[in-house]
Amino acid sequence: MKHLWIAGAVVSVAALIWLMIKHRRRRGLVKPVVLGAIGAFLLVTGWLFATDAAAPKQEAIKTGGLAAGAIVALYALWLNDRRRRTDEDRQRIESKRQELEIERAEHDRSRVADERFARSVELLGHDAEQVRVGAMHALAGLARSRQEYTQTVLDVLCAYLRRPFDVTREGDGLVRDERELEVRLTAQRLVADLLPRADLDAAPRYNLDLTRAYLEYFDLSHRQVGDLVLRAAHLRESNSLHHAVVRGGAWFTDATSDGRLHLHDMVLHGKAWFSRFRCRQAADFTATRFLGPAKFAGVAFTGPVTFEGGEFAEPVDFEDARFAGGLTLRLAKPVEARKRGLRVSLEHPNALPDGWVVEGREDGGLGLVRS
């Protein structure tokens, strides 16, 4: 019994070496652990017997058993920790796999969307008008399902509206390709449908470039847009932008309108450039707010024009403006007009009678003369 601890020490060392070999080879460690527990039991029990022969044998055996149990418990804790780390690694790998699957699916959706976009744009050049209409609806559906395409789709639709469109006048009517007109009306309606409503403050901004576009019954009412470019555009029949909000600038330079123009209750945050604008029928700017610089230099309005209840936040330029059908300037707030670099106060603007126009005076003010 006195040399029992020597046997325990030998068994413990052997178990330790075996454990190291097993661990290096990534094999099961149960047998070396059990052997180590036996060695610990023999070592502790034999040591107690050798150092204190008078001690109760049961206490020595109990202490040896606790040492063996501690070895087994440590092994169990190690297994539990290893299992936890394995589960965490598995979860991490699964998470990465799901991310890769999501990225792959998104890549596939993007590829399908790109192909759908390219095919729809290609079909816009088809000879059959129903095919072109279908392509436009496909583009609009793509823009609704994938917001990153919205501005691009709007650019494509605006580019279609900028295509040449032959219109001639015979007597009191217009002669044009009615089938192509239906396609263009579809493009106009889809442009308006893709724009956010004017009452959505946090909506994204989309720009419209309709330079030299032919527009008929164009309706952007109650919509909001970033920049609105209508330079040299041709507006036919009745066109409506009432209650629209323009977050950026609005350019109507050199544009013409043969029909009625509804621009009332608009809010224009940036520049509002109407230089050399031509309008042959009534133009309604009632309650429209010009919050940025406004320029009406060289405009020619044949029909009546009203700015009733409107607001100009900055001096407005009416240089060489002609209002042959009458002008109402009863504004919500007094405004200053800019003429040849000078300012003239319009503190008490009045409606102008038919047949009178506003022209600049030699002193830099505005005067009324017959047209």
The sign one gets for the Cα dihedral 36, 39, 40, 41 is positive
Instruction: Tell me how far apart the alpha carbons of residues 344 and 250 are, in angstroms, rounded to a whole number.
Output: 25
Q: How many CB atoms lie within 10 A of CB 168?
A: 8
**Angle subtended by helix axes 129-145 and 150-161, to nearest 10:** 150
Report yes or no: 199 and 223 within 8 Å, Cβ to Cβ: no
Give pLDDT, residue 4. Answer: 65
Instruction: Tell me how far apart the alpha carbons of residues 157 and 220 are, in angstroms, rounded to a whole number.
Output: 14
**Distant-in-sequence, close-in-space partners of 13: CB < 8 Å, separation ≥ 6:** 39
- The SS3 of residue 153 is helix
Give pLDDT, residue 344. Answer: 41
pLDDT tens, N- to C-terminus, the chain (371 residues): 556 666 666 666 676 666 666 666 666 666 766 667 777 766 666 666 666 666 666 776 777 777 777 777 777 777 787 888 888 888 888 888 888 888 888 878 888 888 999 999 999 999 999 999 999 999 999 999 999 999 999 999 999 999 999 887 776 677 889 999 999 999 999 999 999 999 998 999 999 999 999 999 999 999 999 999 999 999 999 999 999 999 999 999 999 999 999 999 999 999 999 999 999 999 999 999 999 999 998 999 999 999 988 999 888 888 888 888 878 877 877 666 665 444 444 434 444 544 555 554 444 444 445 44
What is the SS3 string spanning 39-75?
HHHHHHHHHHHHHCCCCCHHHHHHHHHHHHHHHHHHH
Give pLDDT, residue 53. Answer: 64
Instruction: Tell me how far apart the alpha carbons of residues 102 and 204 are, in angstroms, rounded to a whole number.
Output: 26
Q: How many Cα atoms occupy the beta-carbon half-sphere of 299 within 13 Å?
A: 31
* C-alpha torsion angle, residues 194, 200, 203, 209 (rounded to 10): 50
Report yes or no: 213 and 178 within 8 Å, Cβ to Cβ: no
Tell me whether residue 28 is exposed, middle or buried, using C-beta atoms within 10 angstroms of its C-beta: 0 to 12, 13 to 18, 19 or more.
exposed
* Strands 327-328 and 305-306, sheet pairing: parallel
